[in-house]
């Protein structure tokens, strides 16, 4: 089924990217996590009609992608999937707020249109920032860091375990689905009345699998506690990047480069 | 129904992150007390099952459209409320990172909308009382349908409130609610029937799986229907009260406009990045302030704005150029090495 | 070093899985445990590692009886490699998975590392150290599962169908790996050719009891005996049938 194959491909392509070894990949995961969060907060803190100030934030994803050697295409594809949601949330603004904001030559620009553009730009920026984070830092590395900001251990364990078994389950579902469709060639999906049995079977198998995993853990001395190595400490270079990056980001928030350039026109 | 980062304001995102963090901390604490260590791997595998299960499209008879399962109520019935909530949190985080389904700032809102209501509110206070007298296929089905509808509707209403409070969309509240609620009632019905079907199947094959999470003893003991109703009433009052508070600041009564909602949002956001930026922004942004519909000085603002927008275009080109330059330099380095 | 005495076991549903098994296994033996599906191989393994509780009879590992209070020590001495490596490898990084056992022994992190690296080097998989298990091939996962048990430094390893679902080359690789391990091995398998290659003793289970126990030559070449318990000669011993 296409969604399953799609998501398997997405996960594995992002994982392959995260195996890279550029300056961005080598940064401490905590530093990347903080920088990403700061970027997100700053981007969405712009008021909905200020799109000139927002534009300078394009530098962040572009520079990071170039430094990390992340290919554009897969990220753009992900972006296209994320955009429609924001599109529908934003399109109403054009309808409901037609008040004139400014004229570009003969073309009237309404506040609604401005806020629509702002939503779309914010979507692009925020999605890219998160994508860049996961394309340069593997999920296990990110979740290790969660331990050091006092996220309960059980959540981190769950993230790791779920992540570990996603590909196993996706493959299982995909096989079951194929077996179903081959015997019901006319169906466009699982029939609703068969869902109980279909997912039910999946769950039963998974209960058994969980049981085996538990036994495997027990055989290796598990006593209810998952033990991890301590995450590596933040290096001097990482601190430097953190200070520089957050400084520049804050500067970008309060200095409208677009207007500055515009003022020379 | 995932909220995206771009659809929340820092204040709303932050509040929801804090609320969800609280719920997570409480659940983790609860699990520490009385979680069978056997459940740790089970939760992980179930998380992966929900992740994969959400990708199964099923056809809805008579409509030609397709649906997929949500999973909150299902997980809660299989694992118990607190483990289910934690499991769903892990799933949502992974989805946010890999699929741009929601984002990191909106994660709190998504955990709340999709996890909190289903696992920690509806399951213990609606699902369990219905099946309290003993599991039967009928009770399981009824409980599933009612619970899923309720959980989804609560989630949908929260999406509306969070989006409006963030000052993102200019849709009037009534219209927005009118669009979201009926759709989610319908989705909830379909999803509830499917969830019921799955649970009934499990009940028939391996009843002990459902029952073990049922008597997870950590339930309020003498839970009566009256208490449940009372709880729902309080909840309705809180939500309704919050809404009318927003409404009362609106001179046009039900005619909700962004002006008011945004005004409230701004109040909430005072003292944070949103506001502290305002001073600097006023001098630079082409809008005089947050007053969205202010018409004063618009003509003069327009002059700056056109150049501002051209400036924005140039900024974008510059950014793109920088990226290209880095690529070019890197490639050349590789060639010479 | 492993002594099983008058062992009986029935599942809660009443199915009698093990019937009166008596076995003595010496240090360093390489044993193939064969038998049709449902003959009791897995049940026996579960009893030896203490996952199922012994109700009747006893199992001794050296001087230690398998019971609730000795489980920790038993599991340090007896390792088990699962048939499906996806069940066994539940961490997100190969290194962490192999380190899971040693860490649970609360060893110092550098001792853990030494154990993990040793196990990986011994099996030639050090290059997989930072990979994620779900991105590896079935054969690689199988070897990592073995390493994860090896890192616990056990005296006996139980293998459950180590060569199933593998392509011929990966199978050969796993067989060579098994052969290189010098500790006591008990290998539950349908792969009689492998048994012929690397085992020196064969035990046939049939309906939960020991049907035959002897040298590889005595048992695996006895066609009549094998067919009595739903088995057949190793493929390499069968007459080729070419159409």
C209: three-class secondary structure by DSSP: strand
CB contact under 8 A, C100 and A139: no
pLDDT band at A52 (very low <50, low <70, confident <90, very high): confident
Closest CA to C33 of C218, C211, C181, C223: C211
Give the tokens for residue B48. 């992966």
Provide the shortest C-alpha distance from residue C183 to chain A (in Å).
18
pLDDT value at residue B246: 44
Residue B221: pLDDT over 50: no
- Residues in contact with A148: Cβ distance below 8 Å, sequence separation at least 6, in sequence order: A30, A231
All domains of chain C in start order, with CATH:
2-86+155-237 (3.40.50.300)
pLDDT value at residue B220: 44
Residue C103: pLDDT over 50: yes
What is the mean predicted confidence (pLDDT) over C153-176? Answer: 93
Q: Which CATH architecture has domain B5-223?
A: Orthogonal Bundle (1.10)
What is the mean predicted confidence (pLDDT) over B236-262? Answer: 41
pLDDT value at residue B235: 55
pLDDT value at residue B294: 37
**Set of chain C residues whose Cβ sits within 8 Å of the Cβ of A225:** 104
pLDDT value at residue A1: 56
pLDDT value at residue B229: 58
Number of residues that make up chain A: 265
Q: Which of A140, A215, A219 sits opposite C93 (nearest CB)?
A: A140
Residue B211: pLDDT over 90: no
Distance CA C192, CA C33 (A): 10
Among A122-126, B72-76, B265-269, the least confident range: B265-269
In degrees and rounded to multiples of 5, residue C230 shows phi and psi of: 60, 35
Residue B222: pLDDT over 60: no
Residue A81: pLDDT over 90: no
Distance CA C187, CA C178 (A): 9
Q: Which chains touch C (3 or more CB pairs under 8 A)?
A: A
Specify whether the CB–CB gap between A203 and B202 falls below 8 A: yes
Residue B274: pLDDT over 50: no
Residue B252: pLDDT over 50: no
CA-nearest residue to C86 within chain A is A168
Among A10-14, B220-224, C23-27, C29-33, the least confident range: B220-224
Q: How far is CA C190 from CA C141, C197, C204, in A?
A: 20, 13, 11
| Better pLDDT: B235 or B176 | B176
| Element (DSSP H or E) covering residue A66 | helix A59-68
Provide the shortest C-alpha distance from residue A143 to chain B (in Å).
10
pLDDT value at residue B238: 54
Residue B305: pLDDT over 70: no
Tell if the pTM clears 0.90, that is, is over it: no
CB contact under 8 A, C51 and A168: no
Mutation site, A219, A225, A232, interface C, largest C CB count within 10 A: A219
Q: What's the mean per-residue pLDDT of chain C?
A: 92
pLDDT band at B209 (very low <50, low <70, confident <90, very high): confident
String of DSSP letters for C7-67? EEEE-TTS-EEEEEEEEEE-TT-EEEEE-STTSSHHHHHHHHTTSSPP-EEEEEETTEE-S
Q: Which chains touch B (3 or more CB pairs under 8 A)?
A: A
Give the tokens for residue B80. 């118990």
String of DSSP letters for B262-331? HHHHHHHTTTSHHHHTHHHHHHHSSSSSS-TT--TTHHHHHHHHHHHHHHHHHHHHHHHHHHHHHHHHHH
Closest CA to A118 of C84, B275, B170, C57: B170
pLDDT value at residue B260: 39
Total beta-carbon pairs less than 8 A apart between chain A and chain B: 390
pLDDT band at A89 (very low <50, low <70, confident <90, very high): confident
Q: Which of A58, A127, A154 sits opposite B86 (nearest CB)?
A: A154
Would you kindly state where each structural domain of chain A is located, as residue ranges?
2-137+235-262, 152-219
Distance CA C139, CA C13 (A): 36
Distance CA B149, CA B140 (A): 14
Mutation site, B1, B2, B5, interface A, largest A CB count within 10 A: B5
Q: Which of B37, B104, B319 sits opposite A37 (nearest CB)?
A: B104
CB contact under 8 A, A220 and C133: no
What is the mean predicted confidence (pLDDT) over C59-72? Answer: 91
Provide the shortest C-alpha distance from residue C214 to chain A (in Å).
29
Closest CA to B280 of A45, A256, A247, A111: A256
**Set of chain A residues whose Cβ sits within 8 Å of the Cβ of C86:** 165, 168, 209
Provide the shortest C-alpha distance from residue A168 to chain B (in Å).
8
Residue B135: pLDDT over 70: yes
119-138 in A: which are within 8 Å (CB) of C?
138
Distance CA A250, CA A247 (A): 5
Strand partners, A104: A107
Which residue in the block uniquely carries the two structure tokens 């309960």?
A152
pLDDT value at residue B50: 93
pLDDT band at B337 (very low <50, low <70, confident <90, very high): low
């Amino acid at each position: 089924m296409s969604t399953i194959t799609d998501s398997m491909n997405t996960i594995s392509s992002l994982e392959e990217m995260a195996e890279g070894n550029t300056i961005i990949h080598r940064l401490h995961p905590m530093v990347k996590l903080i920088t990403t969060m700061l970027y997100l907060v700053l981007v969405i803190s712009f008021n909905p009609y200020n799109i000139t100030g927002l534009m300078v934030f394009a530098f962040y994803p572009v520079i990071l992608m170039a430094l990390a050697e992340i290919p554009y295409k897969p990220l753009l594809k992900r972006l296209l999937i994320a955009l429609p949601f924001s599109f529908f949330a934003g399109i109403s603004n054009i309808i409901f707020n037609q008040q004139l904001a400014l004229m570009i030559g003969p073309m009237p620009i309404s506040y609604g249109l401005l806020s629509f553009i702002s939503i779309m730009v914010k979507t692009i920026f925020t999605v890219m920032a998160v994508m860049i984070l996961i394309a340069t830092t593997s999920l296990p590395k990110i979740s290790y860091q969660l331990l050091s900001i006092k996220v309960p251990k059980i959540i981190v364990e769950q993230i790791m375990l779920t992540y570990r078994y996603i590909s196993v389950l996706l493959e299982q579902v995909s096989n079951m689905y194929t077996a179903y469709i081959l015997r019901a060639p006319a169906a466009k999906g699982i029939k609703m009345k068969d869902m109980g049995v279909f997912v039910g079977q999946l769950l039963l198998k998974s209960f058994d699998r969980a049981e085996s995993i538990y036994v495997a853990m027990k055989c290796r001395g598990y006593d209810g506690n998952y033990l991890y190595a301590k995450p590596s400490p933040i290096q001097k270079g990482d601190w430097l990047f953190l200070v520089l990056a957050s400084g520049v980001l804050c500067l970008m928030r309060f200095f409208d480069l677009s207007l500055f350039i515009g003022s020379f026109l | 129904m995932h909220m995206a980062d771009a659809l929340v304001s820092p204040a709303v995102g932050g509040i929801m992150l804090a609320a969800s963090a609280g719920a997570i901390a409480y659940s983790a604490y609860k699990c520490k007390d009385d979680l069978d260590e056997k459940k740790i791997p089970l939760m992980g595998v179930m998380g992966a099952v929900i992740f994969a299960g959400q990708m199964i499209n099923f056809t809805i008879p008579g409509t030609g459209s397709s649906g997929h399962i949500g999973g909150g109520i299902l997980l809660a019935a299989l694992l118990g409320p607190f483990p289910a909530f934690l499991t769903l949190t892990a799933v949502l985080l992974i989805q946010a990172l890999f699929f741009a389904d929601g984002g990191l700032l909106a994660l709190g809102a998504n955990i709340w909308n999709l996890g909190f209501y289903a696992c920690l509110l509806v399951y213990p206070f609606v699902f369990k009382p219905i099946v309290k007298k003993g599991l039967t296929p009928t009770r399981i089905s009824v409980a599933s349908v009612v619970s899923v509808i309720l959980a989804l509707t609560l989630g949908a209403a929260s999406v509306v409130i969070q989006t409006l409070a963030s000052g993102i969309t200019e849709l009037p509240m009534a219209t927005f609610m009118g669009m979201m609620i009926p759709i989610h009632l319908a989705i909830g019905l379909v999803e509830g029937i499917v969830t019921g079907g799955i649970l009934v199947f499990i009940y028939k094959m391996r009843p002990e799986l459902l029952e073990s999470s049922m008597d997870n003893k950590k339930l309020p003991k003498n839970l009566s229907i009256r208490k449940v109703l009372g709880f729902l009433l309080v909840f309705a009052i809180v939500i309704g009260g919050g809404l009318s508070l927003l409404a009362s600041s609106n001179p046009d009564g039900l005619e909700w406009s962004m002006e008011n909602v945004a005004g409230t949002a701004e109040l909430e956001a005072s003292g944070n990045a949103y506001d502290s930026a305002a001073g600097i922004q006023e001098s630079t942004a082409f809008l005089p302030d947050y007053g969205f519909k202010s018409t004063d000085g618009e003509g003069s603002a327009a002059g700056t704005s056109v150049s501002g927008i051209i400036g924005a275009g140039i900024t974008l080109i510059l950014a793109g150029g920088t990226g290209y330059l880095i690529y070019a330099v890197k490639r050349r380095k590789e060639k010479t090495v | 070093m492993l002594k099983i005495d008058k062992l009986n076991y029935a599942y809660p549903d009443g199915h009698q899985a093990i019937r009166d098994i008596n076995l003595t296994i010496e240090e360093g033996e390489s044993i193939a445990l064969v038998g049709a599906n449902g003959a009791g191989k897995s049940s026996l393994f579960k009893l030896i590692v203490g996952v199922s509780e012994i109700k009747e009879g006893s199992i001794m590992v050296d001087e230690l009886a398998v019971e609730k209070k000795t489980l920790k020590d038993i599991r340090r001495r007896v390792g088990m490699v699962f048939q499906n490596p996806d069940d066994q490898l539940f961490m997100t990084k190969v290194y962490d998975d192999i380190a899971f056992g040693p860490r649970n022994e609360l060893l110092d992190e550098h001792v853990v590392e030494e154990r993990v690296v040793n196990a990986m080097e011994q099996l030639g998989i050090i290059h997989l150290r930072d990979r994620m298990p779900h991105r590896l091939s079935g054969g690689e996962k199988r070897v990592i599962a073995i390493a994860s048990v090896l890192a616990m430094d056990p005296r006996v390893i139980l293998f459950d169908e180590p060569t199933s679902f593998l392509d011929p080359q990966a199978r050969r690789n796993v067989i060579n790996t098994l052969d290189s391990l010098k500790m006591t091995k008990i290998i539950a398998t349908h792969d009689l050719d492998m048994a012929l290659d690397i085992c020196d003793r064969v035990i046939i289970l049939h309906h939960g009891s020991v049907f035959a126990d002897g040298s590889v030559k005595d048992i695996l070449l006895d066609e009549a005996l094998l067919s009595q318990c739903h088995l057949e000669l190793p493929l390499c011993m069968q007459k080729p049938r070419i159409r």
